[in-house]
Amino acid sequence: MFSVSPRISAIPGYLHRSVPPHEKFPPGNGRRNNETSHNQPPALSIEPLDSIEGLHRVQQAPMSLSRPLRLLLLGAPGSGKGTQTSKLLKEISLPTLSSGDLLRQHGDDPKIKQTIARGELIPDDVMTGMVIGDLARRELLVGAGKSWLLDGFPRTLNQAVLLDKELSSHDSKLNCVVELNVPQSVILERIENRWVHIPSGRIYNLQYNPPKVAGQDDVTGEPLSKRPDDNVEVFQRRLDKYNELIEPLKQFYAEQGVLHTVDGETSDIIFPKLLKLIRDNFS
């Protein structure tokens, strides 16, 4: 067993700058047919499902759960975990805990602030304590009947072991771990064209989901920004690190019988599969 802490570079960070006039966005809406915009309802793909019957089940909504769902989404940086979470919350009433949001909430803590300022690693036990504390504060660990979703934690085997120990003491272990398996070539293409609205976290892509007005958020009209690590060379290093850490994590959850993998290149291919998996096992 080994211990690896998440690097501060993995914490969402941004380089805030307006889009200069010479950085032109593509004309027209620039969307691919299999992607959706913020203002359009998601279109279900008919390709990857096992049967037409399965497709009909996916299209039924809203979904009610017959037993508690304690879900963890795994996936490489840029695989679309945030997008899948947003889509899922439109179908299921599910409290969500994001490690990135949690770190921002604790950003004024002197110890956290000093750790980040020094560029050091946040200890696994500190991260685990923050996650368990937030779940407890929201009364999601009261008995075994609560459903919730974790996004961005755990990222390493040691974190998973610590979290599993704490959740076991509350009879609330994770019972569904889903890996979003997106080809790395697709992820790198996404990253090159990704822009974000920092205050809301809304993400745009110049190829398939551009803003209505070049360089501006659709809702507020505020300037979009580029993350400092959104370039191929830097992001490839992040992907390499993810691949190094994910296999022991997957093995840990596979041995518990809760690991599932969903394959796809776009969110509209992945989401019907994810929804069907949850419907078939928890609805």
Which residues are annotated as catalytic? 81, 155, 194, 227, 238
At 7, give phi and psi (nearest 5°). -80, 145
**Is residue 83 part of an annotated ligand binding site?**
yes
CA dist 119 and 125 (Å) reads: 18
**Is residue 67 part of an annotated ligand binding site?**
no
**Is residue 140 part of an annotated ligand binding site?**
no
The dihedral sign for the CA sequence 70, 73, 74, 77: negative
Ramachandran region of residue 111, left (φ > 0), alpha (ψ -120 to 50) or beta? alpha
**Is residue 221 part of an annotated ligand binding site?**
no
**Is residue 257 part of an annotated ligand binding site?**
no
**Is residue 139 part of an annotated ligand binding site?**
no
CA dist 29 and 32 (Å) reads: 9
**Is residue 80 part of an annotated ligand binding site?**
yes
**Is residue 235 part of an annotated ligand binding site?**
no
In the numeric block, which tokens belong to residue 218?
């659709």
**Is residue 104 part of an annotated ligand binding site?**
yes
**Is residue 112 part of an annotated ligand binding site?**
no
- Amino acid identity of residue 276, one-letter, is K
Structural contact between residues 131 and 123, judged by C-beta atoms closer than 8 angstroms: no
**Is residue 99 part of an annotated ligand binding site?**
yes
**Is residue 227 part of an annotated ligand binding site?**
yes
CA dist 215 and 235 (Å) reads: 22
Q: How many CB atoms lie within 10 A of CB 223?
A: 15
- Closest by CA position to 212, among listed 24, 17, 29: 29
**Is residue 190 part of an annotated ligand binding site?**
no
CA dist 79 and 70 (Å) reads: 21
**Is residue 267 part of an annotated ligand binding site?**
yes
- Strand (E) positions, the chain? 70-75, 96-98, 148-151, 176-181, 194-197, 202-205, 259-263
Residue that the structure tokens 């272990």 belong to: 173
Structural contact between residues 210 and 25, judged by C-beta atoms closer than 8 angstroms: yes
| Known binding-site residue numbers | 78-83, 99, 104, 120-122, 152-155, 159, 194, 203-204, 227, 238, 267
| Known binding-site residue numbers for AMP | 99, 104, 120-122, 152-155, 159, 227, 238
| Known binding-site residue numbers for GTP | 78-83, 194, 203-204, 267
